[in-house]
Amino acid sequence: MPPARPLSLVTGASAGIGAAFARALAARGHDLVLTARRRERLDALAAELQQQYGCTATVLAADLADPAAPSALCAELDRRGLAVDWLINNAGYGVPGSFTANDWRTHADSLQVLLTAPVELAWRLLPGMRERGYGRIVNVASLAGHVPGTAGHTLYAPAKAFLIKFSQGLTLESREHGVHVCALCPGFTYSEFHDVTGTRALMNKLPGFMWQSANAVVSEGIAAVERGAAVHVTGRVNRTIKRVFKLMPDRLAFRLSARQGRRYRQAD
């Protein structure tokens, strides 16, 4: 049985899908720990949620590109006596341009945020969930993890594919302990993601039916992890795209993905 007021840790909570998760979970009666780099945004969101829903919203600003951040974050949770019931591994971003167009530090930081931080947070928080017999982990992956890789944003899709496999493995290890793990795989979502990567003008060329709101993505994600789905692709359009690519011969799928990628990737 879940606690009367579950505590949810949301990474990348300052905007987009992370902020939408925070709002949706507060509306469900959760208390929150919000983390991201931009403390002023977190403070504003925490005040909004506390006033609207009467929850407790704790702000712990952190940069998950720092390898020490996950352990420091969990140490602070322990110091405050906060036991996390829901972990929303949402923090992430893409690095535009080709692989060699960026320096190694840029790639290393992105891999730390996309891969190492979510895995470490799960490793540190999962034992407590199992001991209490209840927990939920949502690893925000992407439709990109289900289709062939493209030129540009070279590490993003591989990182998301890793999160999908990681979530499947954790599901098999954890479900008998009352812990559900889900890789949530949205497609194009209205958020700051493409503004940060400088590809907004290119993305605006996509037809409207390709896009989902962050609230819609989050609604599907919460329902999926609650029912025990190890992987969930959001939206009928995205699920259709996944099925089509799965049915194609590998060579054809690769060629199609490469052609589409050239239309919507930023040149060096």
Q: Hey, which bits of the chain come out as E strands?
A: 7-11, 31-35, 57-59, 86-89, 135-140, 179-185, 188-190, 211-213, 231-233
Q: What angle do CA 253, 186, 5 make, to 5 degrees?
A: 150
Phi, psi angle pair for 259, to nearest 5°: -65, -45
Question: Catalytic: 156?
Answer: yes
Q: Hey, which residues does 231 pair with through a beta bridge?
A: 183
Amino acid 21 reads: F
Instruction: Give the count of alpha carbons within 13 A of 227, CB side only.
Output: 9
Catalytic, out of 53, 93, 134, 156? 156
* Whole-angstrom distance, CA of residue 110 vs CA of residue 121: 16
Distance CA 223, CA 109 (A): 31
How far is Cα 1 from Cα 3, in angstroms, rounded to an integer?
Answer: 7
Q: How far is it, in rounded angstroms, from Cα 27 to Cα 7?
A: 13
**Catalytic annotation, residues:** 156
